[in-house]
Amino acid sequence: MAFPIHRPRRLRTTDALRKMVRETTLSPDDLIYPLFVTFGKGVKKKISSMPGCFQMSVDNIVKESEKAYKLGIPAIILFGIPEHKDSRASEAYSPKGVVQQAIKAIKNKVPELIIITDVCLCEYTDHGHCGIIKKGKILNDPTLELLAKEALSHAKAGADIVGPSDMMDGRVAAIRNVLDSSGYEEIPIISYAAKYSSAFYGPFREAAESTPSFGDRRSYQMDPANRREAMKEVTLDIDEGADIVMVKPALSYMDIISDVKESFDLPVAAYNVSGEYSMVKAAAKAGWIDETKVMMEILMSFKRAGADMILTYHAMDAAEELNK
């Protein structure tokens, strides 16, 4: 039967009733806060293309981590900006690297906060690519050794989870093998399994100082036109030992988030990337949108699509709103 027997508006009449029948919920527990740690002391440098985000030295990263934890955000993910870069990304796996120092300092102050680390070379190489280069080509297999060294150095420093984001073939297996053989078999891997070659990453490259000095990343990141290929990438990473799989970006790839959630039993993460964040900030500054309402609607849409956790630069603002 249809109208007038069925009236869907009956369940929308009050806020309390709407909450009772709500299909999807969002809480601070769903959020992961990305942070950019750099060298020095007392540093809090604005990222011009990402209003409200900063490059911070270890002392300020600790303070920001404390604030996040007090708001109920359970996890952060760290990206490092080293003082020196070279062709082999040596500061990525140095015990004295900025990320390694930040992990120890945060754990000393906020031991309960989950620390995820981004495992990639692009922030640490002098050419800005995610792998070793020879004659203008990004070499897959030689890169795996360095990624594994980086992940192990993070685990030794006290990281709770490592997150390979490079999109080299076989990186999850290489990292899993090194962690297991070194006594870190309990450290989970959150794999950037379906990471697309996206124009939405633009502001991040300023934040992480990782713009490639030549070419682009299309030979290793996924083609935005491909949907079925994401299932292959996720399957391979799970077979290699991934514990959580990620889709990046999120906003234009909710079909992929949904596909992954429907097809696999692992937790699914969605990365609400820099360009998505900055578009909301720019539109709000121009007075075209209500920033808070649009932010919350976007984050809810990721949960509705199937994401179990969301990496987002909106994390602090969203947590404050959810705690009201």
Based on the residue annotation, tell me whether 232 is a catalytic residue of this protein.
Answer: no
State residue 134's pLDDT score: 87
Catalytic residue among 85, 107, 195, 303: 195
Walk me through the domains of the chain, giving residue ranges and CATH numbers: 25-322 (3.20.20.70)
Encode pLDDT of 260-310 as tens digits: 999 999 999 999 999 999 999 999 999 999 999 999 999 999 999 999 999
Based on the residue annotation, tell me whether 63 is a catalytic residue of this protein.
Answer: no
State residue 6's pLDDT score: 94
Encode pLDDT of 105-117 as tens digits: 999 999 999 999 9
pLDDT value at 139 more than 80: yes
User: Residue 187: is it exposed, middle or buried by C-beta count within 10 angstroms (0-12/13-18/19+)?
Assistant: buried
Banded pLDDT at 215 (limits 50, 70, 90)? low
SS3 letters across the chain: CCCCCCCHHHHHCCHHHHHHCCCCCCCHHHEEEEEEEECCCCCEEECCCCCCCEEEEHHHHHHHHHHHHHCCCCEEEEEEECCCCECCCHHHCCCCCHHHHHHHHHHHHCCCCEEEEEECCCCCECCCCCCEEECCEEEHHHHHHHHHHHHHHHHHHCCCEEEECCCCCCHHHHHHHHHHHCCCCCCCEEEEEEEECCHHHHHHHHHCCCCCCCCCCCCCCECCCCCHHHHHHHHHHHHHCCCEEEEECCHHHHHHHHHHHHHCCCCEEEEECHHHHHHHHHHHHCCCCCHHHHHHHHHHHHHHHCCCEEEECCHHHHHHHHCC
Catalytic residue among 248, 261, 281, 303: 248
Closest alpha carbon to 55 in 169, 168, 209: 209
Banded pLDDT at 129 (limits 50, 70, 90)? confident
% of the chain exceeding 70 in pLDDT: 99
State residue 23's pLDDT score: 96
